[in-house]
Amino acid sequence: MKSFLQQILMFGGVYFITSLLVSFFETLSMVLFFLFIVLLIALCIKKKFVFIEKLQTKFPKTSNYLLAFGMVEYINLIFTFVPGVIYGYKSANAMYNNEEYASNIPLYLEYFSFVHLGLLFCALLWATYKSVKKTNN
């Protein structure tokens, strides 16, 4: 896997772990998301962060788990955040215009939560396999 892609996935894994830790504080969670987006853009411009490289070389097994969590986090952002924003915009717009708005997006998000748990389980299995398997020399 390319170094840049690994850094993006590890950065997503770090965001996944920190967002779980601060999820009870809504304001802090929003600040963390904004910081994540800004640093993600900076990573795309800069192409690598030194602290992520140090983390990869010093803790390779932990890096596997961060890669797995990062993959799940990006899938989660794409398949829940985007539809959630669209649903929220259309729902608020309909409420503003005193109209009713019916959509299947809440049902989709409910089903995707099960897919998300399955992806998380598969990612943890992959990271454990990658961390435990012996390399052939």
Helix axes 50-58, 3-21, angle to 10 degrees: 90
Identify the three-state secondary structure at position 73: helix
Q: Which two tokens stand for residue 107?
A: 């049902």
The answer, yes or no, to whether residue 32 has pLDDT greater than 60, is yes
| Mean of pLDDT values over 115-130 | 92
Q: pLDDT digits over 62-96, tens only?
A: 888 989 999 998 998 889 888 989 998 999 999 89
Q: Which pTM was predicted?
A: 0.79
Q: Which two tokens stand for residue 46?
A: 């800069």
Give the model's confidence band at 137: pLDDT under 50 very low, under 70 low, under 90 confident, else very high: very low
